[in-house]
Amino acid sequence: MLFRMKKLILHATGAVTSMLPLRLRHVMAKSLLEDSALAREYGYLYLSSLSRKLNVVRLSADGQYGTMVSSSNDLSILRKYAETGRWAPELADKLTKFFGDSGGTYLDIGANIGMTTIPIAQHNERVKCYAFEPEPVNYRNLLRNIAENCPSGNIETFQLALHEREEVLPFEIADGNLGDHRLHIETRLPAKQNEMGRKIIEVRCMRLDDVPMQLTGPVFAKIDTQGAEPYVIAGGRNTLARADAILIEWSPYHMARLGGDPNIVLQFLEAHFTHGRIEETDAKAGRQGITESITEVTARLRGTITQWRDNPQNYVDIFATRMPARAE
């Protein structure tokens, strides 16, 4: 009821405003935009909405990692960067501490526009980064951001969705949250995020184990693929088994939407890592849990496979290492 009342009020306000002379409406809009609190809370949303009406396809924002560009309808990652000057600071700190002053390899599987690859590539030129992003627009912006902010040339990119086999598969495009693009598989599960109304494209898929790379230690792998994690592991067991640390998003809803088996993730962690912890994702402020044996971690997560299956808001990160994680 309250939502309907707000909608009616906004509609009535818009109808009255539209009757005013154009110049007066301009003065009113300008005065509203000069309200710093209003601009801070809603300014990016206004900018994104106007951009789409004016056929502006890209926006850029300056922050800790340099000037980053994304699509004008990016209401998640670029918006956060524009408003705070950074993205995923907890992961950036984790990578900095993991590699220290040495070299190594970073696998960014689900790289989006480069917000986790670029900071570590800038900080430590001895770290070789491999960034995987299948969606064409995100991939083009990833290349732009690398060219703008990483002159050292220590990032190699692949326009691929990693999977358990090589083929071309349908891929759905999310509007607003450009980190929620994902492979598309028809299931009977109820769609909770408007998946049935999304645009579908096709992307090339490949096994991680078949990608030509030179891994030098230590190796850190990040997998954030909106439910494709079991398939990424199935096609990349040999490569991922060489990781000294791994960060995997755990979302039973998204894995179920793709028909994947979450137990593949847990069994792989148990086979190759000794310790781990459950962490809130960067989208949820990145709060960290306690480090414990990997079997304790996986035992608790097995209980969420069914409990979280119908709720896309229930998701966490799993951080696993071969040795107990250093105090942070």
What is the tens place of the pLDDT at every residue in 259-277? 999 999 999 999 999 999 9
Pairing of strands 161-162, 199-206: parallel
Report the distance separating Cα 266 and Cα 231, nearest Å: 13
Mean pLDDT value of segment 226-231? 98
> How many Cβ atoms sit within 10 Å of the Cβ of residue 200?
9
**What does DSSP assign to residue 190?**
P
Task: Specify the pLDDT at position 75.
Answer: 95
Q: Which residues of 72-96 are buried (b: 16+ CB within 10 A; e: fewer)?
A: bbbbbbbbbbbeeeebbebbbebbe
Residues in the chain: 328
94-130 per-position pLDDT tens digit: 999 999 988 999 999 999 999 999 999 999 999 999 9
Residue 259: both structure tokens together = 């028909």
What pTM was computed for the model? 0.89
Quote the Cα angle for 197-141-239, to 5°.
90
Block residue for tokens 């956060």: 80
Mean pLDDT computed over every residue of the chain: 90
How much is the average pLDDT of 225-241?
98
Rounded mean pLDDT, 177-193: 89
Per-residue HEC secondary structure of 71-91 comes to ECCCCCHHHHHHHHCCCCHHH
Q: Which domains does the chain have, with CATH numbers?
A: 85-321 (3.40.50.150)
pLDDT of residue 324: 56
pLDDT of residue 40: 83
Query: How confident is the model at residue 250, as a pLDDT?
Result: 98
Q: Which two tokens stand for residue 139?
A: 């991939």
**What are 295's two structure tokens?**
């079997």
> What's the alpha-carbon Rg for the chain, to the nearest Å?
21
Instruction: Kindly report, residue by residue over 2-52, the tens digit of the pLDDT.
Output: 445 444 444 545 555 566 777 777 666 677 678 888 888 888 998 999 998
Rounded to the nearest 10°, the torsion over CA 73, 76, 81, 82 is: 50
Q: What does the pLDDT look like over 138-172, one tens digit per residue?
A: 999 999 999 999 999 999 999 999 999 999 999 99
Helix (H/G/I), strand (E/B), else coil: 278:
strand
